[in-house]
Amino acid sequence: MKNFKALILIFLIFWHHTSMATDYMVRPGDTLSHLAKRFFPNLPIYTLEGGINRLLNLNPEITNPNIIVVGQQLRISDSSKVSVRDKTTLDETFTEPKKELTFDLPPEDISNQSPITKQPPQFAMTGESLWEIGIYSGIQYYAHDQSGALGSANVNIFRPSLLSVRSRFSLDEWGLDLDVQRSNLKFSSIQSQGSVTTYEATMLARYQMFKFGPSLREFPLFRNNAGTIELEKGSSLSLMAGMTKIFHFNTRRPTQLELSALAGLPLTIGSSTPSIELKSPKGYTLDLEAKLSRSLRSAKDESDYSIAIEWPIQLRIDQIKHDALWGVSSGLVERKSWALSNQLGLVVQF
């Protein structure tokens, strides 16, 4: 019986030693990017195989990677995969000696405090940045229903030559996204045929999970002139705002799913064709996207780069009314359209 109690005591001592080596209490000024750089110095910060993603996998209770609370316990190593006897392996997980993980002052007792009123979250700008550039190609199903002063037009086609370039720059909790897209539209009827190439550019500023910014988009504009279908293009400037949410998956290769939703209001509308005048836009634009990312190559150090493959699926809905003057045709025009895009791309992160 005495031997059994002694074994239990030894086990508890070793268990306490292991938990001290694999847990960390958040202190004032800590952020996930700061802790990722401290405990995983050989990994990049923001990539799919980076330090932040590893901390999120070890601490699934963190729902917002931009917010951690002073006094919060974070796991910085998977103790189920570390043997107590394998002290060398555990020590190699950190670049700092284990004595750096102890404090001269005991941690403050916050059991009776509200983390919101008495111990608010602490943030710090660490200067960690990440730049991503991606090229995407795919196909789009486009449905366009137009009515009003320019006549009726109903188009349902596949646009196979969809090409996009996306750039994303991140600095701590802030970021800037730039998306440029090119697509072709061709149509044919009994009496006429035509085609246009449309472009769009969207620039969004990011803070944590929120996005906002302008979007300049070209769109097809039809006129039914005594049975002859004419095709030109107009352009609209909208103000977009929305939010994004990222889910991390602990798979063999780091994988994440990003869901985003944007809503926009048209500010101005016009046309590059001198004989067409567009004005007074009203309505809305809605963009929904699900993007799956999977790492193909991880950076070896801060000066290296990583590569990921991304699969974005986007649904766009436009419902716009505006005044139009095209030759002798003038009046109110209503456009209802929706587009479902499916693309695949490569992204370089550095």
Contact 174, 66 (CB under 8 A): no
Q: How far apart are the C-alpha atoms of 142 and 273, rounded to whole Å?
A: 23
The conformation of residue 107, written as its DSSP 8-state character, comes to P
pLDDT at 229 over 50: yes
Mean pLDDT across 257-271: 95
pLDDT at 7 over 60: no
Backbone angles phi, psi at 63, to 5 degrees: -90, -25
Q: Above pLDDT 70, what percent of the chain?
A: 77
Mean pLDDT across 159-176: 89
Question: Torsion over CA of 57, 167, 122 and 17, rounded to 10 degrees?
Answer: 30
Mean pLDDT across 96-105: 38
pLDDT at 177 over 90: yes
Q: How far apart are the C-alpha atoms of 336 and 196, rounded to whole Å?
A: 18
pLDDT single digits (tens) 243-257: 999 898 878 888 899
Closest CA to 335 of 254, 229, 220: 220
Tokens of 260: 């985003």
Most confidently modeled of 1-10, 70-79, 213-222, 245-254? 213-222
| Residues 129-349, CATH architecture | Beta Barrel (2.40)
Greater pLDDT, 291 or 52:
291
Residue 97's pLDDT is what? Answer: 38
Q: How far apart are the C-alpha atoms of 26 and 334, rounded to whole Å?
A: 55
Q: Domain residue spans in the chain?
A: 2-69+84-101, 129-349
